Amino acid sequence: MFEPTLSIRTTSTLITQITKTMAVTHHIVALDSWVNLPEFDFPHSLNVITDGSALTRPEQLKDATIAINSQVPVNAALLGHMPSLRLLAATGTGVDHIDKEALRARGIVLCKVPAQNTGKSVDFDSPGL
């Protein structure tokens, strides 16, 4: 399984390039509200789960072809609710909460997007430091 490490902008570009060659409208699901979503330049619908219900109401995931996740534990049981899933973009730090073997078994691509959720820092001069 291919596990690239890309920026969120690169990820968006990659997804755009892949989807433009396919005659399909993707259903993107952000599994938690910690995700900073880019603009996608391909036909899609979007569901951002802001209430933490990805695990308690997994029926809302059934149409996902692309999932974006920061903190929700992803295992074979959760993947079972996403039969059309082809790509999981993992934002934030680490992927220990994701069952990579379950992804491999289903042929789902895992794309790591580190530091996607970090804000801009402010530069300042501090005399005497």
Q: What is the CA radius of gyration of the chain?
A: 16
Class of domain 8-113: alpha beta
DSSP state, residue 51: S
Separation CA 47–CA 61 (nearest Å):
9
| Total-model pTM | 0.73
The rounded Cα 118 to chain-centroid distance in angstroms is 15
Q: What residue segments make up the domains of the chain, in order of their start?
A: 8-113
- Confidence (pLDDT) at 36: 75
78 to 57, 102, 114, 123: CA distances (angstroms) = 10, 10, 22, 42
Strand partners, 66: 28, 87
33-76, pLDDT tens digit by residue? 877 788 888 889 999 999 999 999 999 999 999 999 988 999 99
* pLDDT classification of 15: cutoffs 50, 70, 90: low
